[in-house]
Amino acid sequence: MTDNKITTVAVLGTGVLGAQIAFQTAYRGFPVTAYDISDEALEGARERFIRLGHTYAAEVEGATPDTIEAAQARLHLTTDLAVAAQADLVIEAVPEVLDLKRSTFEKLGALAPASTIFATNSSTLLPSQISDASGRPGRFLALHFANRVWQFNTAEVMGTPETDPAVFDEVVRFATDIGMVPIELHKEKAGYVLNSLLVPLLNSAIALAAGGYAEVDDIDRTWRIATGAPLGPLQILDIIGLTTPYNILTHGSGADAELALWLKENYIDKGQLGVATGQGFYSYA
């Protein structure tokens, strides 16, 4: 670990991403408080941590029963926000609802020491939509992970005009310490770097397939062969799950809404949601 001030971490929300962030942080040696709203949710978190342990054993180079057990031992679960608030860095991964995020940071701001840094993992909201609710805009920023953090290990760091540059730098160092590749954004951008690149590509691929311009496999092959990318956009969509692009397109303009309807009628209504259901644009054994 490099010499910085973040030594304890809390993660709010132990769903898909929150559990991964908490586990990865603990795996890299930090004590982590994982907070969720109910005992039932924490039971789900326990199961997620066990599954993540199996995944790390199978997929992370150098992972052993000992390193995984040590990570599990560094994870502390709580339904008490006041306990989570005592960490040097609190990373929020609660559902993507603006009012929920704002009220969470409002409560947290009243409980945490003035020195605590707050980060949101929001994918679609800008940190400036939330930071004032925290009562400490200078110590507030976005730290955005990608699903499967141990494998797709970018951590996009994005402040607001009010974020203290020293806090930004500290969070960049922390991201490195937990095995992420920090991607620094110089200003706020909806979609950060990754989704600013990826979403237009994925939507264009859906439009090509929906319009009947080319076969699914040819759309993907074109991208793979011509750019050297390992996966085509429709393969990526199957991994993400088709509900996510459906939800995004539903909120878009007329052409996007038509693509959403096409996805719904041809895939979602048939339960073909991608890799997770065994069938999406492709079939999976």
Q: What is the DSSP string of 53-67?
A: HHHHHHHSTT--HHH
Token readout for 84 is: 């989570």
Is residue 95 a contact point for ligand NAD (CB under 6 A)? yes
CB of 37 vs ligand NAD, minimal distance in Å: 5
Answer for the pair 48, 149: CB distance below 8 angstroms, yes or no.
no
Residue from 10, 11, 13, 249 that binds ligand NAD (CB under 6 A)?
13
Token readout for 78 is: 């709580």
Distance from CA of residue 70 to its chain's centroid?
24
Q: How many helices (H) and strands (E) does the chain have?
A: 11, 8
Q: What is the DSSP string of 87-129?
A: SSEEEE---S-HHHHHHHHHHHHHHS-TT-EEEE--SSS-GGG
Is residue 247 a contact point for ligand NAD (CB under 6 A)? no
Task: Kindly list the strands in the beta sheet with 9-12, ordered across the sheet, starting from the edge strand earlier in the chain.
Answer: 75-78, 32-35, 9-12, 89-92, 117-120, 140-145, 154-159, 181-185
Nearest to 171 by CA among 141, 151, 150, 193: 141
Residue from 24, 33, 116, 121 that binds ligand NAD (CB under 6 A)?
121
Q: Which is nearer to ligand NAD, 108 or 263 (CB)?
A: 108
Is residue 131 a contact point for ligand NAD (CB under 6 A)? no
Residue from 12, 133, 202, 263 that binds ligand NAD (CB under 6 A)?
12
Q: Which is nearer to ligand NAD, 122 or 163 (CB)?
A: 122
**Which of the ranges 9-17, 182-190, 245-253, 258-266 carries the binding residues for ligand NAD, by CB under 6 A?**
9-17
**Which of the ranges 2-10, 16-24, 163-171, 187-195 carries the binding residues for ligand NAD, by CB under 6 A?**
16-24
The residues in 175-234 that bind ligand NAD, with binding defined as CB under 6 A, are none
CB of 235 vs ligand NAD, minimal distance in Å: 17
**Which of the ranges 34-42, 191-199, 204-212, 266-274 carries the binding residues for ligand NAD, by CB under 6 A?**
34-42
- Amino acid symbol at 185: L
Binding site for ligand NAD (CB under 6 A): 12-18, 36-37, 41, 93-96, 100, 104, 121-123, 145, 147
